[in-house]
Structures are given as C-alpha cells and as structure tokens.
Amino acid sequence: MGLCVLHSRAREGIRAPEVCVEVHAGGGLPALSIVGLPEMAVKESRDRVRGAIVNGRFNFPAGRVTINLAPADLPKEGGRFDLPIAVGIIGASGQVRTGQLPRLELLGELALTGALRPVSAVLPAALAARAAGRALVLPRANADEAALVEGLEILPAEHLLEICAHLNGDAVITPHTVPAAHCQRPSYPDLAEVQGQDQAKRALEIAAAGGHSLLFVGPPGTGKSMLANRLPGILPALDDDEALEVAAIRSVSGQDEVDPASFRERPFRAPHHTASGVALVGGGGTPRPGEISLAHLGVLFLDELPEFDRRVLEVLREPLESGRIHISRAARQAVFPARFQLVAAMNPCPCGYLGDPQGRCRCTAEQVARYRARISGPLLDRIDLQLEVPRLPAERLTAGVAGAGTSSEPGPEPSAAVRSRVEQARARQLERAGCANAALDAGALAQHCPLDEQGRRLVTEAMRRLSLSARAYHRILKVARTIADLADSEAIGVAHLSEAIGYRRLDRGGAAQQAGEGA
C-alpha cells in the first residue's frame, strides 16, 4: 500500500487547468472517498472504477482508499478523471510500475469492462499538455482531435489493460498522428454562383478585407443569404494558432466533434431567430460557449434580424466591441472569445416589398417604423456596412443562366480571385497596425487614418446631414481605410470616404425617404 500521484486536466471555459490526482491506499476498513470539489459524475466514478479494475483482473485494495483532486477549490466534472483514478489505485497498490507517470497526463471515462470511452474538451487539454511538456494518454476515439496539436506525444488506448501494459513495459503504445489525407483544404460555396448584385459583392469584399460587420436590406429572394454564405470563402485562411483556437471552442461546446478534415474551415453559424440570449452568448450552470463564440474568427449570420427578440440582440453589443463575452454564475465564471464577423439580413418592411417598382407593398409608415424599431439604434450603430440588395430584373437573371459558358463577356468573379485581393489588403493591415482595420482602437485610428482638409469637410458634412454618432464616424474611417487598402493606397482619399459613407444605409432618415431611394 502506498501513494500514487498522476496528472490530469479539468475544464474551465476554453482552458484546461491542471489537476493533480493523488491516490492513497492505506489500512483500515474498506472505503473509497473522493475529495477536491467533485461534482456528481466524478463521485459516481468510484463505481465505474471499481468495476473496471475488478474486470481487468486487478485486485481492488481491501483497505481505505482516499483520492484527492487538487486544487481543492477548482470544480471537477464529468467522467474524464476515471482513467487517472483507476491507474492511481492500481499504482498505489503496487500492481503497476509508476516510473513513467510524472511525464504523462491521463484523460478518459471507463466502462465497467475497463474499456475507454471518449470525453469532451480534449483539444484544450492537449494544448495544455504540450505546454507542460508531457505526453497525453486518452481514449483512441479522441486521438485524431488531440493529434491536431503539433509537437505533442499522443498515446491512445482502447482499454485500461493497454495502459497498464505500457506502464509495465510489456506492450508499448505507438504514438498517434493524424494522417495527411485527413487535413484537407477547406471548401466553401463560390461567389461566382451569385448572379448580379455587384454592389453587395463589393461590400462583401470590403467586409472580408477589414473584418467589418455587414447588414443587407432587401426584399425576399434577392440573394442576401447566398451572399452571407459565401463570406467565409473569401476570408484569409486561418493560421495554425487560429485554427486550434476555433477547434478548442468547438471541442469545449460538446455540440460538434472536431473533424480533422475540416480543421481549418472558418466557422459559419446561422442561429434561428427564435434563439434565446443564452443560446446566442452562452451560459448554463456550467458555462458553455454560445453561437457568438462558436462563430469566433468566422461569421455569425442573423437572417430576418428584426424577428429576433430585441433583448437577445442587445447582448451582441458588448462582444461586437470587445471580442469576448463574460459569463457569470453564482459559483462559476467564464470568459469565451467572440471575435466574429456579424452579417445580418432583413426585409425593408413587414411584407418585404417596400420600394418595389410594382407597388406590391401596402405597409403604412407606422408599420414600417415599428418593424425597424425592433433593432435598436446602438446596435445599428455598431454595424459598419449597411446597404440595400435590390431585386434583379428577370432579364439579368435569365441571361446569366442561359449564357453560362457560352457568352464572350466575363462571368461573375470567383471567390478565389476576390480572396486574393482580400489577403493582400489584410496583409497590409497586419503589417501596419498588427490587426484588421475593424479592430483599430482610438489611438491607432488617429495614427493610421489621417484625413486631408477636403476629407474632413466631407465627413463633417455627412455627420451633420445624417446625424451620425462618434462611433459611426470612427466606423466610417475604418471602412474608408479598408477601401484604401484594397486600392493599394497609403492615404485615405475623398473617393474612399464617399464610398464608406454610402454604406451607412440606415442612417439616411425615415421610411419614406428610404422607400424613395429604393424605388
């Protein structure tokens, strides 16, 4: 009888704090106690571990077994501690060698047969194990996900007996790697599939280049959703650290498995308008990430924006500014990253046909105003690009379909060509300020977005006529800076400012004026 110390990992947001599993097998009446703030699933591990040890033909200690999960003030949850507890009991009772344990971290849930079952939130634990310089022992079903972390030794197993044989040197476990065939290039819908809508495509390119938020306003069936779905395909590729950060959030959420084949895809989340505030920002007794965190470094698409509950939309205001969300509960707090690009779509009125040339709209000015009032001014103020997506003439649509591959005129530009320009513009921004233009703070804005006298007069007049706020002014400067980057211009010119001001679609007055402009 003796003491055995092992290393494991808990869950805390997208972090994986270290847990030291101390197992002491001593004399006295037979008993097994687990201390260290274990939740119910951890307390129940005593029965799973006992069954796995006995069915693995090991002797369960006859005396008192005490298991301490340190630090004591960190809540422990789930079945992830089954494996280290079982190995610790076997090691403390002298039935397996413990010399390798200091360089290992163990995770895994045990079946009563001793088989290992997969656990969630493996990727944050893998990142933390690499930082600590230890190898990670875990269920084989989790091996592909953990092996996405380069430079980490992964030791996968399907049964408790395999791990014990490895520790005794009888059968060494082969380290696991992800096959190269699993790491595929991301595949996205192509922008060339969208007919017409040149101004909307231009706004999409600007949004991608500078990381700006975007709102499409237009009648049903004009391509708003198609355009939004194609934004990830023109964004710059994720680098290794960004891809791991995105995958870690997905791993912690427990909703989606991390697929190595789609490891580098930009997330695209499109929650239904009936989604609650908790679903959007995250929460629960044990805080979990919501849609805005699952869209981290990707796109959050809110279709039918006014149909969302206004209180739900208001929770977007803080993360749109800060790029993270704080979730506080009575006993637990968590911070999740939420640097997403917001793309929203809405109809111009309740029926959707305000400004239609055929006069199909019968909505009154009061109905239109009430419909648009569902979206608060402060939220609209935070959306950089706001533009109308009009209905295309039938001739334009049919000409595009009938002439595909036969016309001498160039067809719609593919995503690859647009992405090339976006990557060049983004590279200029990173070299200049270390971040995308949308993330520039007030100091960096003054440094990198100076205006000449003509530009200042133009912006001053726009603020006066459109009653723009200081925030809207700053966002116009950021958009103009992005337009200048796409044009490979060091200075922001009047043309860049004019285009940026033109994208403040909903800052131009009431419903009647917008109806006249749409017609």
Q: How confident is the model at residue 512 (pLDDT cuts 50, 70, 90)?
A: very low
**Strand partners of residue 155:** 137
* Per-residue pLDDT tens digits for 52-74: 999 999 999 999 999 999 999 99
Q: Do the beta carbons of residue 248 and residue 433 sit within 8 Å? A: no
Checking 42-48 for CB contacts under 8 A at 24+ apart, the result is: 42/69, 42/76, 42/77, 42/78, 42/79, 42/81, 45/79, 45/81, 45/82, 45/85, 45/110, 48/79, 48/82, 48/109, 48/110, 48/111, 48/112
CA distance 42 to 449: 55
Q: What is the pLDDT of residue 517?
A: 39
Query: Quick one: tokens of 136?
Result: 């990670």
Ramachandran region of residue 488, left (φ > 0), alpha (ψ -120 to 50) or beta?
Answer: left
Residue 416 has pLDDT above 80, yes or no: yes
Q: What is the pLDDT of residue 182?
A: 54
Count CB atoms within 10 A of the CB of residue 189.
15
Please identify which residue in the block is written with the tokens 């992005």.
482
CA distance 300 to 292: 7
Query: Quick one: tokens of 326?
Result: 């704080």
Q: What is the pLDDT of residue 13?
A: 84
Residue 439 has pLDDT above 50, yes or no: yes
Least confident range from 24-33, 47-56, 499-508: namely 499-508
User: What is the secondary structure of 117-150 as a DSSP string?
Assistant: E--S-HHHHHHHHHHHT-EEEEEGGGHHHHTTST
Residue 255 has pLDDT above 70, yes or no: no
Across residues 456-468, what is the average pLDDT? 91
- The two most distant CA atoms of the chain are separated, in Å, by 90
* Per-residue pLDDT tens digits for 202-216: 999 999 999 999 999
Q: Do the beta carbons of residue 349 and residue 363 sit within 8 Å? A: yes
More confident position, 509 or 485 = 485
Across residues 160-180, what is the average pLDDT? 90
Across residues 297-303, what is the average pLDDT? 96
* Per-residue pLDDT tens digits for 355-398: 777 778 889 999 999 998 899 988 998 999 999 998 887 776 66
The dihedral over CA atoms of 238, 244, 245, 251, expressed in degrees to the nearest 10, equals 130
**90 closest CA partner among 50, 117, 118, 119:** 50
CA distance 517 to 505: 10
Query: Quick one: tokens of 364?
Result: 């009154």
* Per-residue pLDDT tens digits for 74-118: 999 999 999 999 999 999 999 999 999 999 999 999 999 999 999
Instruction: For the chain, give the number of residues.
Output: 519
Q: What is the pLDDT of residue 286?
A: 77
Report the percent of the chain where pLDDT is more than 70. 92
Could you say which of 3.30.230.10, 3.30.110.70, 2.60.40.10, 3.40.640.10 is the CATH number of the domain covering 3-178? Answer: 3.30.230.10
Q: What is the pLDDT of residue 489?
A: 94
* Per-residue pLDDT tens digits for 405-414: 445 556 788 9
Across residues 318-340, what is the average pLDDT? 86
Q: What is the pLDDT of residue 519?
A: 32
Residue 442 dihedral angles phi and psi, to the nearest 5°: -60, -40
Q: Do the beta carbons of residue 208 and residue 235 sit within 8 Å? A: yes
Across residues 234-242, what is the average pLDDT? 91
Structural domain boundaries of the chain?
Answer: 3-178, 191-393+412-518
**55 closest CA partner among 15, 111, 140, 113:** 113
CA 499 vs CA 47, 206, 482, 483, 503: distances in Å: 67, 11, 11, 8, 7
Average pLDDT, the chain: 89
**518 closest CA partner among 318, 313, 352:** 352
CATH, range 191-393+412-518: 3.40.50.300
β-strands 282-283, 288-289 pairing: antiparallel
